Amino acid sequence: DAGVIQSPRHEVTEMGQEVTLRCKPISGHDYLFWYRQTMMRGLELLIYFNNNVPIDDSGMPEDRFSAKMPNASFSTLKIQPSEPRDSAVYFCASSLRPQTVNTEAFFGQGTRLTVV
């Protein structure tokens, strides 16, 4: 398996534009997570899905952010409109089971977003 695949790897966009980040989880993993990482706040969970259903979106910063998982092999995180403070590295991760002992979350390589 190629692991968790994210695209694009880098995105530079102008303030106000729509940004869509994409993720393909590891096949067979029931859990998918979207995280955002900044120097100031570290890694923050934005939302996670179980069997394609959003379970906890309390970390989504505001209505400008939305996430979907139309099927088991694809998820998107959309920011509309984007703002400079959204600049961060966005990670997608997947796991086979809930995060208990002996369960590993596998991360994609991340999308580095810069909003100018």
Partner 1 sequence: RKEVEQDPGPFNVPEGATVAFNCTYSNSASQSFFWYRQDCRKEPKLLMSVYSSGNEDGRFTAQLNRASQYISLLIRDSKLSDSATYLCVVNPSNYGGSQGNLIFGKGTKLSVKP
For partner 1, the binding residues (CB under 8 A) are: 31, 33, 35, 41-45, 48, 50, 55-56, 58, 91, 95, 98-105, 107-110
Nearest CB to partner 1, comparing residues 59 and 81: 59
97 close to 103: Cβ distance less than 8 angstroms:
yes
CB of 48 to partner 1, least distance (A): 5
Q: Is 59 exposed, middle or buried (0-12, 13-18, 19+ CB in 10 A)?
A: middle
CB of 93 to partner 1, least distance (A): 8
Nearest CB to partner 1, comparing residues 17 and 103: 103
Give exposure, 11-47, as e/b (b: 16+ Cβ within 10 Å): bebeeeeebebbbbbbeebebbbbbbeeeeeeeebbb
Nearest CB to partner 1, comparing residues 64 and 89: 89
Nearest CB to partner 1, comparing residues 14 and 104: 104
